[in-house]
């Protein structure tokens, strides 16, 4: 198969390791919605990735439904996109094992996210956290996905997916797996922590004040932006003027992504403005965009059986794509079934 013969297909996912953040929304979900309809789209709640760090079982089930509710509330439509949770399709774990045997330890050792998450505690973290990127490669390649919309932090993992596909194809003298492209575009592919512009905004960051959660209310959003770290300078009149000002740049990028414009356009509008003017405008914009999604999430979470039904139905459809690809992989590897 040549690369152009793979059917265009989008796959991406979010792990239910806590409540969704503005980073997940702008870096992932909003872009997932933008790709829906243009080609086949599959969006997964990657629960097997969540358990690479400890998750309370009840909270994990709740967070899985909540990520699904976030997908639906933001505009993903189960009749247009396949929405499911990863653990319902056991082929992910099966292909993940095969890829553990393809990926090299040296490659894993270069993964910056593992280094960041393990920190000085690398001996004590789970083996799953270390192997996570090869399971992610399986998530993507199990569907021969050609495009993966992700935030900047996941770029290295998609590159590893390509390395795994290339090594598999080379070792088994085949062209079975595609060279998947990461899709990283727009002004907010790396939303930063509100208290430290050198760190990304994360679900599991230490303080709640460093992130905006999708389900934060209007008052809390305003408070978090008000207290967000900035510098004493007003906004410059060109984007270049934000060099060396990571916290200021972050707020401008968030504003741009929320208002579907560019960071340059935001700077043009707010040139010379102080934070006393910009921060309340940003908070109003965030509330305006997030409140309807959050309200809809609350409504959907009142009917967990319906969310489960949507995820089960999506898993059924995902399995019909996954099964022949997994079977052919077993055959190529020489495993008897």
Residues contributing to the site for ligand AQP (CB under 6 A): 14-15, 17-18, 21, 23-24, 27-28, 150-151, 153-154, 189-191, 200-204
| CB closer to ligand AQP out of 18 and 197 | 18
Q: Please spell the DSSP secondary structure of 20-56, one letter per residue.
A: -BHHHIIIIIHHHHHHBTTBEEEEEE-HHHHTTS---
SS3 assignment, position 284: helix
Min CB(157)–ligand AQP separation in Å: 9
Name the residue nearer to ligand AQP (CB basis): 10 or 329. 10
Tell me the residue nearest to ligand AQP as measured from the CB. Answer: 27
- Which of 248, 246, 265 is CA-nearest to residue 257? 265
**Given the residues 15, 30, 117, 279, the one annotated as active site:** 117
- Supply angle C-alpha 283, 285, 289, rounded to 5: 115
Q: Which one of 203, 223, 224, 229 is the catalytic residue?
A: 203
Backbone dihedral region of 18: left (phi > 0), alpha (psi from -120 to 50 degrees) or beta?
left
Which CB sits closer to ligand AQP, 154 or 294?
A: 154
- 203 catalytically annotated: yes
Q: In 104-261, which residue ranges form alpha helices assigned H by DSSP?
A: 105-109, 112-118, 127-141, 155-171, 218-227, 246-258
Indicate if 124 belongs to the active site. no
Between CA 22 and CA 201 the distance in angstroms is 8
Least distance CB 113 / ligand AQP (angstroms): 7
CB of 174 to ligand AQP, least distance (A): 29
Smallest distance from ligand AQP to CB 53, Å = 7
Helices 127-141 and 155-171: crossing angle in degrees, nearest 10, is: 70
Q: Is 58 a catalytic residue?
A: no
Q: Which C-beta is closer to ligand AQP: that of 145 or that of 168?
A: 145
Q: Which residues are catalytic?
A: 117, 200, 203
């Amino acid at each position: 198969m040549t690369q152009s013969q793979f059917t265009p297909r989008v796959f991406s996912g979010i792990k239910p390791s806590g409540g969704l953040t503005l980073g997940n929304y702008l870096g992932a979900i909003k872009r997932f919605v933008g790709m829906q309809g243009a080609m086949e789209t599959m969006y997964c709640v990657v629960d097997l990735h969540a358990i690479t760090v400890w998750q309370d079982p009840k909270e994990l089930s709740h967070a899985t439904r909540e990520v699904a509710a976030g997908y639906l509330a933001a505009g993903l439509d189960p009749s247009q996109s396949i929405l499911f949770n990863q653990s319902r399709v056991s082929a992910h774990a099966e292909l993940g094992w095969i890829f553990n045997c393809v990926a090299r330890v040296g490659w894993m050792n270069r993964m910056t996210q593992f280094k960041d998450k393990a920190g000085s505690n690398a001996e004590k973290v789970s083996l799953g956290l270390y192997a996570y990127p090869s399971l992610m490669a399986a998530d993507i390649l199990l569907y021969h996905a050609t495009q993966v919309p992700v935030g900047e932090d996941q770029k290295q993992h998609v590159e590893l997916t390509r390395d795994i596909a290339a090594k598999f194809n080379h070792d088994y003298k085949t062209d079975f797996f595609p060279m998947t492209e990461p899709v990283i575009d727009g002004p907010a592919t790396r939303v930063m922590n509100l208290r430290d512009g050198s760190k990304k905004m994360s679900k599991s960051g230490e303080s709640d004040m460093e992130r905006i959660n999708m389900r934060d209310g209007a008052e809390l959003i305003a408070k978090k932006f008000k207290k967000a770290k900035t510098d004493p300078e007003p906004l410059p009149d060109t984007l270049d003027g934000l060099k060396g000002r990571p916290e200021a740049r972050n707020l401008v990028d968030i504003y741009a992504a929320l208002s579907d414009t560019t960071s340059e356009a935001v700077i043009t509008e707010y040139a010379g403005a102080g934070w006393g003017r910009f921060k309340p405008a940003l908070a109003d914009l965030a509330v305006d965009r997030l409140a309807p999604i959050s309200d809809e999430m609350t409504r959907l979470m009142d009917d967990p059986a319906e969310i489960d039904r949507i995820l089960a139905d999506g898993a059924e459809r995902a399995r019909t794509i996954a099964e022949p690809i997994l079977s052919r992989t077993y055959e190529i590897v020489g495993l008897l079934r």
